[in-house]
Chain A
Amino acid sequence: MAMIECRQLSKTYRKGASIIKPLDSLDLDVEQGSFLALMGPSGSGKTTLLNLIAGIDQPTSGSLTIAGQNIAALSRSKLASWRAKHVGYVFQLYNLVPVLTAYENVELPMLLHPLSRKQRHERVGTALSLVGLADRHDHYPRQLSGGQEQRVAIARAIVTDPQIIVADEPTGDLDKPSAHAVMSLLVRLNQELGKTLIMVTHDAATAEHAGLTLHLDKGQLVEQSVTAAFSGETATTHADEGGDA
């Protein structure tokens, strides 16, 4: 059974008088431990798909089952609880809370869990060490470089040990060396810790880090490509199975 199963997944919303359909009857399976890149032009539906998988948006129709749970049917509060346990989100613009230190930012998701202060301290310390910023724990976001901010954001995404990490253009706002460091970190999370990683990117070179790249256009999957180094990749689309991709 796939870790993520999308069946006839559609999203529609109204913008003024017109109806926008960023995702149209999408079928997709993603196996546990995959590293999936989503590419496509603006408005192709990749961020919408990412948001649906992350549980921060809900589909208009279809089902979305993650680890056996149909999250499309969850109430708003249950979905919040599900997100807290299962998903870590990495934003393009980091989205750290500016009045909190790196430590406090990483601690934010931990506050939702029934852990002691000491346990939280240990987990935050571990996450910051993993991203190489243990010595910057008391720095505020304004005191960090873009790359460092993104690494803190990654630490925040992994501190609760979620099964899935979603990243929306995580290197989109970074210079090359920082982008490389961030991508190396994400690859490590996937390969060493077995996290299922789904990443939206515009950059083909960044997508090369993923095992499988799915191309979307007008809310539908139009192409997939497997990176040579990841010949055993594990995402399938039902279009493939039907032979009409």
Chain B
Amino acid sequence: MIRLKYWPLVIKQITRHRVRSVLTILGVAIAMYLFVAIQAMQQGVAQTTEATAADTTLVVYREDRFCPFTSQLPEYYLQQIEAIDGVVSAVPIRVVVNNCRASLDVVTFRGVPRDLFESTIGQNIRFSAGTLGDWQKRSDAALLGETLAARRGLKVGDQFDAAGITVYVAGILESDEPQDQNVAYVHLDFLQQQVDRRLGTVTQFNVKVDDPERLGAVSNEIDELFASAEQPTSTRSEKAFVAQIASDMIELIGFTRYLGWGCLVAVLALVGNAIVLSVQDRIKEHAVLQTLGYPSALIGRLIVTEAAVLGLLGGLLGASAAMLTIRLTHLSFSVDGLSIPIEAGPVLLALGMALSIALGVAAGLVPAVQAARRPIASCFRAV
């Protein structure tokens, strides 16, 4: 944009009105903090609900039920589901949550058969602490998703209780699947006894299909199989399932994108206002620079660079603070036992900063062009 030798000029102009510059940077930072936080929520929704070509998981739920407390299916459906052509594996899961409403701090217990864990869910996870053996040894053992463990400050060997169930932490899991990051995996029979006082009832079946293109066909076959049973099923891809169950929450999060755009407009207005004031203060100075031989284009670029620096500093501050907050709090939206993570990575940080710079440049353009086009002699007359 400008050569290195002109940078001291830009820096001196920014620090010239320290209070004004600091307030502008803070304003931009607050707006970008909100923008990044909103984008992190939007990303979480996209990650959990947008289907990809590689998706091969189906969720079998009780028909016309949308809450883990009301979806009850016989565990013996498992054998019939496993027998369907195209099904690679199926796992019955009992889901219990400590809070069925939308919340930022929900503990979701997922009861899974001890012998099926490794061949099904175990395929997608890595242990950051503890081992599968530790989990298998104790009936009250739980494997915690890393987000849940971090949010609750739990480590291997701890005990904790939620929803009236006390478990022993046998391991901490890492996973790329959003639904694995915020759960406590326990033994199915343990959870059934704790909640139902009897065995044989599960909330859902997670079914792995051999070919993503066969998801529709297999789901239809499952639902047809149990259509006339006492507990009919409704089978969807895992992401479609999340999208339906958490639709209210997703709609709400979707609305926040307008707030995000509002934040960007705020950045534009803040930087624009600061630069307009700054340029108005320096009409004569710019005329002096032009008298010395500074071309109009260079004057314009100096002003745009000032605006871009204000945007960059505010963006860096706001986006970094948002990332730090998200990383430290490990919050995620949960509804009906499903988790929508709030995630901010380096890409989002870079996006926030790039947008701040771009908005700074945009905000500086008009005053820069005006300053560059003003006839020199009239500037001296005007002041």
Contacts and interface: CB of A to CB of B under 8 A. Distances in A.
Interface of A: 48, 51, 54, 56-57, 76-77, 80-85, 87, 89, 91, 95, 97, 99-100, 104, 108-109, 111-112, 117, 156, 160
Given A80-B296, A99-B16, A108 B289 contact: yes
Contact of A84 (B285, B293, B376, B377): B293
Contact of B376 (A56, A81, A109, A160): A56
B252 interface: no
Contacts of B291: 54, 56, 83, 89
Nearest to B12: A99
Contacts of A81: 293, 295
Interface in B274-324: 284-285, 287-297
B153 interface: no
Interface string B1-28: 0000110110011011000000000000
Interface in B180-204: none
Contacts, number: 61
Nearest to B284: A95
A84 B292 contact: yes
A76 B376 CA distance: 11
5 contacts: A48-B377, A83-B291, A97-B288, A99-B12, A112-B292
Given A76-B296, A100-B9, 5 more contacts: A56-B291, A77-B297, A99-B12, A104-B12, A112-B293
A95 B285 CA distance: 7
B292 A109 contact: yes
Contact of B5 (A83, A109, A111, A160): A111
A76 B285 CA distance: 18
Nearest to B295: A80
Contacts of A87: 293
B13 A99 contact: yes
B377 A51 contact: yes
Main secondary structure of the interface of B (DSSP, over half): helix
A80 B293 contact: yes
B345 interface: no
Interface residues of B, number: 24
B375 interface: yes
A56 B5 CA distance: 25
B296 A77 contact: yes
Most buried by A among B15, B284, B293: B293
A64 to B, nearest CB: 14
Contacts of B289: 108
Contacts of A82: 293
A85 B293 CA distance: 8
Most buried by A among B9, B285, B288, B294: B288
A109 to B, nearest CB: 4
A108 B12 contact: no
A111 B12 CA distance: 16
Given A80-B295, A109-B293, A95 B12 contact: no
Interface in B237-286: 284-285
Contact of B377 (A57, A76, A99, A111): A57
Contacts of B292: 83-84, 89, 108-109, 112, 156
Nearest to A109: B292
A240 to B, nearest CB: 28
B30 to A, nearest CB: 27
Contacts of B377: 48, 51, 56-57
Nearest to B375: A57
Contacts of A76: 295-296
A139 to B, nearest CB: 15
Contacts of A117: 5
A82 B12 CA distance: 27
Given A56-B377, A100-B12, A77 B284 contact: no
A85 B375 CA distance: 20
Given A99-B16, A100-B12, A57 B293 contact: no
Contacts of B9: 100
Contacts of A112: 292-294
Contact of A80 (B8, B285, B290, B375): B290
A47 B291 CA distance: 14
